[in-house]
Amino acid sequence: MKNDEGLDFALSRKTGHMVDVTMVARGLACDCVCAHCGALLQAKKGRKNRHHFAHYVAGRATGLCGGGRESALHAAARQLVAGWCTIELPALLVEEAGRRASIPGRVISIRSSELPDDMRGATYWGRDRVRPDVVMHAEGETIWAEILVTHAVGDSKRARLGRHAISTLEFDLAGMHREGSWTLATLEHALRTDVGIQRWAYHVEEARLRRQLREDSEASARPLTRMEVPWTGVAHDHEGEAPDPVLSGCAGSKAMDWAPLVFDPAMGLIPRDPAKRLAFIAQVYPEPTRYELSGAVAFLRRHPHGDGSCWVTIGGRSPGGRKSAYDAALSEFARSAGLHCVDFAIAGTREVRGPQCHEQLDRFFSALARSTAAEGLPASDL
Ligand SMILES: [Zn+2]
Q: What is the spatial distance between Cα 276 and Cα 260, in angstroms, rounded to a whole number?
A: 10
- Is residue 218 in some structural domain? no
Compute the distance from residue 281 Cα to the ligand 1 centre, in Å.
52
Domain co-membership, 189 together with 281: no
Q: What is the spatial distance between Cα 9 and Cα 183, in angstroms, rounded to a whole number?
A: 7
Question: What is the pLDDT at residue 353?
Answer: 86
Per-residue DSSP letter, 7: B
Compute the distance from residue 250 Cα to the ligand 1 centre, in Å.
58
Q: What is the spatial distance between Cα 202 and Cα 332, in angstroms, rounded to a whole number?
A: 39
How much is the average pLDDT of 354-378?
81
Question: What is the pLDDT at residue 7?
Answer: 93
pLDDT (tens digit per residue) in 291-312: 888 878 888 888 765 567 888 8
248: pLDDT strictly greater than 70: no
- Is residue 4 in some structural domain? no
The residues facing 293 across adjacent strands are 296
Domain co-membership, 26 together with 90: no
Domain co-membership, 49 together with 100: no
Compute the distance from residue 29 Cα to the ligand 1 centre, in Å.
18
Which has the closest alpha carbon to 204: 304, 354, 84, 87?
Answer: 304
Compute the distance from residue 41 Cα to the ligand 1 centre, in Å.
8
Domain co-membership, 367 together with 238: yes
Q: What percent of the chain has pLDDT over 70?
A: 76
- Is residue 304 in some structural domain? yes
pLDDT (tens digit per residue) in 135-153: 999 998 999 999 998 766 6
Helices and strands (H, E) in the chain, number of each type = 7, 23
Residue 146 lies in domain: 75-208
Question: What is the pLDDT at residue 150?
Answer: 79
Domain co-membership, 62 together with 79: no
- Is residue 26 in some structural domain? yes
| CA gyration radius, the chain | 26
Compute the distance from residue 62 Cα to the ligand 1 centre, in Å.
10
Compute the distance from residue 56 Cα to the ligand 1 centre, in Å.
9
Compute the distance from residue 8 Cα to the ligand 1 centre, in Å.
12
Domain co-membership, 42 together with 96: no
Question: What is the pLDDT at residue 13?
Answer: 96
- Is residue 86 in some structural domain? yes
- Is residue 52 in some structural domain? yes
Compute the distance from residue 7 Cα to the ligand 1 centre, in Å.
9
Domain co-membership, 42 together with 104: no
ipTM: 0.98
Compute the distance from residue 188 Cα to the ligand 1 centre, in Å.
23
Compute the distance from residue 66 Cα to the ligand 1 centre, in Å.
7
Task: From 34, 66, 98, give the residue that closes a domain.
Answer: 66
Split into its structural domains, the chain has a count of 3
Distances 374 to 280, 289, 368, 370, 378 between C-alpha atoms, Å: 35, 20, 10, 6, 9
Question: What is the pLDDT at residue 87?
Answer: 94
Residues 6+ apart with CB under 8 A from 138: 108, 109, 110, 111
Compute the distance from residue 158 Cα to the ligand 1 centre, in Å.
30
Compute the distance from residue 197 Cα to the ligand 1 centre, in Å.
26
Compute the distance from residue 57 Cα to the ligand 1 centre, in Å.
10
Across all residues in the chain, what is the average pLDDT? 78
Compute the distance from residue 119 Cα to the ligand 1 centre, in Å.
23
Which has the closest alpha carbon to 229: 275, 260, 269?
Answer: 275
Q: What is the identity of the amino acid at 267?
A: M
pLDDT (tens digit per residue) in 12-51: 999 999 999 999 999 999 999 999 999 999 999 988 888 9
pLDDT (tens digit per residue) in 58-91: 888 888 898 898 899 999 999 999 999 999 999 8
pLDDT (tens digit per residue) in 90-138: 989 898 888 888 888 889 999 999 888 754 444 555 555 678 889 999 9
**How many other CB atoms are there within 10 angstroms of residue 251's CB atom?**
14
pLDDT (tens digit per residue) in 174-197: 877 667 788 999 999 989 988 788
Compute the distance from residue 52 Cα to the ligand 1 centre, in Å.
13
Compute the distance from residue 193 Cα to the ligand 1 centre, in Å.
29
Question: What is the pLDDT at residue 55?
Answer: 95
More confident residue, 267 or 256: 267
- Is residue 143 in some structural domain? yes
Domain co-membership, 57 together with 88: no
Compute the distance from residue 118 Cα to the ligand 1 centre, in Å.
20
Domain co-membership, 165 together with 279: no
Compute the distance from residue 100 Cα to the ligand 1 centre, in Å.
46
Compute the distance from residue 346 Cα to the ligand 1 centre, in Å.
51
- Is residue 214 in some structural domain? no
Compute the distance from residue 88 Cα to the ligand 1 centre, in Å.
33
Compute the distance from residue 190 Cα to the ligand 1 centre, in Å.
24
Compute the distance from residue 284 Cα to the ligand 1 centre, in Å.
50
Domain co-membership, 142 together with 237: no
Measure the N-to-C terminal CA separation of the chain; round to a whole number of Å. 69
Compute the distance from residue 31 Cα to the ligand 1 centre, in Å.
14
Compute the distance from residue 40 Cα to the ligand 1 centre, in Å.
8
CB 277 within 8 A of CB 270: yes
Per-residue DSSP letter, 150: S
Domain co-membership, 165 together with 118: yes
Compute the distance from residue 39 Cα to the ligand 1 centre, in Å.
6
Domain co-membership, 57 together with 97: no
**How many other CB atoms are there within 10 angstroms of residue 284's CB atom?**
21
